[in-house]
Structure 1
Amino acid sequence: MIRILVADDQALVRGALAAMLDLEPDLEVVARVGDGARVVPEARRTRPDVALIDVRMPEVDGLTAAADLVRALPSCRVLMCTTFDRPGYLARALAAGASGFVVKDASPEYLVDAVRRVHRGLRVVDPDLAAESLTHGTSPLTARESEVLAAARWGASAAEIAARLHLAEGTVRNHLSSAIGKTGARSRMEAVAIAERWGWL
């Protein structure tokens, strides 16, 4: 029996995934969580073989939760399952130690097969996303540029970003300028949109 943890912030999706997986004779959902902060505690309590984790969740995002889980419970394989088929998310998920990445519009048969394959130690990646990630998967932004650009996504001024990140205002402007150049954008908000589209933020 393959024991599974399902982590998704949408209760309806979480319940549907769990119900679908529980229909299989060799699969058993042993835990369901609605935010990334609960992934590791529940995994330690229930000892799943595979964790099915959404990318975007409150408290702690799925990519961070995946990395935390891989460190805390290396025997548990991680399969990211998300609506957001962005190349940058795939690259970041694999870097975090995930064994697979599938999108939610995949067929139930594909998802069930992905769980079994990941459990066997194989890597499973959505083929269309894998092809796209060869071009756009790796972010051109440095960690600091990503941090500054993420802080700018809600329209914060350079002074506000500087105060929040404890940086000089000139340093913030330099990072924003660099991020705009690297993304090929014409403005900081366009740079944010491009970075989000490819999953770099």
Structure 2
Amino acid sequence: MTIRLLLADDQALVRGALAALLSLEDDLEVVAEVGRGDEVVARALATGAEVCLLDIEMPGADGIEVAGRLAREVPGCRSLIVTTFGRPGYLRRALEAGAGGFVVKDTPAGELAEAVRRVHAGLRVVDPALAAESLVGGPSPLTDGERSVLREALEGATVATISARVHLSPGTVRNYLSSAIHKTGTSTRVEAARAAQRRGWL
């Protein structure tokens, strides 16, 4: 039995390398490659992909969001996050979204192929070191509102700009930012946003 794979990564070189490595396995077949997160669901449906390997940071939609959409919209298709960003917060959010596994890009080819097989079989695969770190770190303390304003603050946006983009009053935005600054132990909204991003909370 051959497992049909879709590879989603915005770096063509990485996609090509993954495709070449995984295609060496007799039971794995790469049926699609995409460079944007918002192309994954349609291509998975069109090609009958059974496992989608997803990067986290992609244009259109990030891999965690895509994993959630696949779980809801493509029955029988599982997802495996393969990323450079081995952050405990990302791991927790990916699994909560419905991803079947989470590994980092420096995983040896043989282990990655085995991770694909295990996810296809309905098992959960998680990088062991990251799993341990995630347990120690605990869940993200940020609310959805705090996350939404911090994403905008990453770019140094003003309160007025954030307010317009997320459709909240300036007062509410200030309250969310103040709370997020306190939770991250930082001094400014940009520092809070960067700290949250480093921990995989955004």
Q: Note whether the superposition's TM-score is higher than 0.5.
A: yes
Give the corresponding residue for 1:89.
90
**Displacement of 1:138:** 1.5
User: Which amino acid in the other structure matches residue 44 of structure 1?
Assistant: L
Gap regions ≥5 residues in structure 1? none
Task: Tell whether the 8 Å contact from 1:87 to 1:129 is kept in structure 2 after alignment.
Answer: yes
Give the corresponding residue for 2:37.
36
Give the corresponding residue for 1:143.
144
**Displacement of 1:137:** 4.9
Give the corresponding residue for 1:180.
181
What TM-score results when the alignment is normalised by the length of structure 2? 0.97
| Partners of 1:179 and 1:10 in 2: CA distance | 32
Matched residue of 1:56: which SS?
coil
User: For residues 49-93 of structure 1, what are the alpha-carbon distances to aligned partners after superposition, in whole Å with 9 as ceiling and x for unaligned?
Assistant: 111111110011111111111111120111100000011111111
Aligned length, in residue pairs: 201
Give the corresponding residue for 1:194.
195
Gap regions ≥5 residues in structure 2? none
Deviation >6 Å, runs of 4+: none
2:131 equivalent to 1:103:
no
Matched residue of 1:66: which SS?
helix
Q: 1:114-129 residue pairs with structure 2 within 5 A?
A: 114-129=115-130
| Partners of 1:131 and 1:144 in 2: CA distance | 28
| Partners of 2:59 and 2:4 in 1: CA distance | 24
| Partners of 1:36 and 1:132 in 2: CA distance | 27
What TM-score results when the alignment is normalised by the length of structure 1? 0.97
Give the corresponding residue for 1:20.
21
| Partners of 2:37 and 2:83 in 1: CA distance | 14
| Partners of 1:149 and 1:12 in 2: CA distance | 31
2:78 equivalent to 1:60:
no
User: For residues 12-71 of structure 1, what are the alpha-carbon distances to aligned partners after superposition, in whole Å with 9 as ceiling and x for unaligned?
Assistant: 100110111111011111111111111001000111111111111001111111111111
Matched residue of 1:101: which SS?
strand
What's the Cα RMSD here?
Answer: 1.0
Task: Tell whether the 8 Å contact from 1:90 to 1:137 is kept in structure 2 after alignment.
Answer: no
Q: Percent identity?
A: 62
User: Which amino acid in the other structure matches residue 107 of structure 1?
Assistant: P
